């Protein structure tokens, strides 16, 4: 019976699919334009949620951005022009993956540097630990050796 509960939980977790916040009234009638709009909206950050794309966010501002993006596409803007318009209006923060530039260098370089420093630290720690001899019978002091011999020679109670 226990396995049935586990099976039900696994089924419920796998049966859920990612829900998108795009409402039917926002969708464009042209499938090619809608595909471009969806691809672009997955690259743009919701300014309210800050960790979701506007495609995934239910915030009213994300809805406004999705509608604005679709309006720009229907007016004939290409993808780069839409992105440039939104960056000019909201700043580079609207991009989920900002470009590598001098002012975003820390954002891009700190994680790999910290990862490399951690790996080097673990390597040094492992080398240091492997270089230490294990405490053996020979490395005991005479008092410790006498106590060990006494404990080993005593019969168990």
pLDDT given at position 11: 72
pLDDT at 20 over 70: no
CA atoms within 13 A on the CB side of 108: 10
- Break the chain down into helix, strand, coil percent, rounded to 5: 65, 5, 35
pLDDT at 112 over 90: yes
How far apart CA 42 and CA 34 sit, in angstroms, is: 12
pLDDT given at position 18: 47
How far apart CA 45 and CA 55 sit, in angstroms, is: 9
pLDDT given at position 17: 46
CA atoms within 13 A on the CB side of 54: 26
Binning pLDDT at 50, 70 and 90, where does residue 23 land? low
pLDDT in tens, 128-147: 887 666 666 567 788 888 88
* Cβ neighbours of 46 (radius 10 Å): 24
Binning pLDDT at 50, 70 and 90, where does residue 116 land? very high
How far apart CA 64 and CA 54 sit, in angstroms, is: 9
pLDDT in tens, 24-68: 666 776 788 888 888 888 889 888 887 888 888 888 888 888 889
pLDDT given at position 34: 84
How far apart CA 77 and CA 83 sit, in angstroms, is: 10
pLDDT in tens, 63-93: 888 889 889 988 988 889 999 998 999 888 8
CB 38 within 8 A of CB 55: yes
- The rounded radius of gyration (Å) of the Cα atoms in the chain is 31
pLDDT given at position 38: 87
pLDDT at 22 over 60: yes
């Amino acid at each position: 019976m226990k396995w049935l509960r586990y099976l039900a939980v696994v089924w419920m977790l796998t049966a859920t699919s990612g829900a998108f916040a795009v409402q039917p009234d926002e969708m464009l009638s042209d499938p090619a334009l809608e595909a471009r709009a969806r691809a672009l909206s997955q690259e743009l950050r919701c300014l309210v949620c800050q960790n979701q794309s506007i495609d995934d966010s239910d915030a009213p501002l994300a809805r406004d951005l999705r509608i604005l993006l679709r309006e720009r596409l229907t007016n004939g803007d290409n993808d780069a022009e839409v992105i440039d318009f939104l960056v000019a209006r909201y700043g580079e923060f609207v991009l989920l993956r900002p470009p590598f530039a001098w002012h975003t260098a820390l954002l891009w370089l700190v994680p790999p540097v910290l990862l490399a420093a951690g790996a080097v630290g673990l390597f040094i720690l492992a080398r240091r630990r492997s270089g230490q001899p294990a405490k053996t019978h020979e490395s005991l002091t005479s008092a410790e050796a006498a106590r060990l011999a006494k404990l080993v020679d005593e019969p168990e109670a």
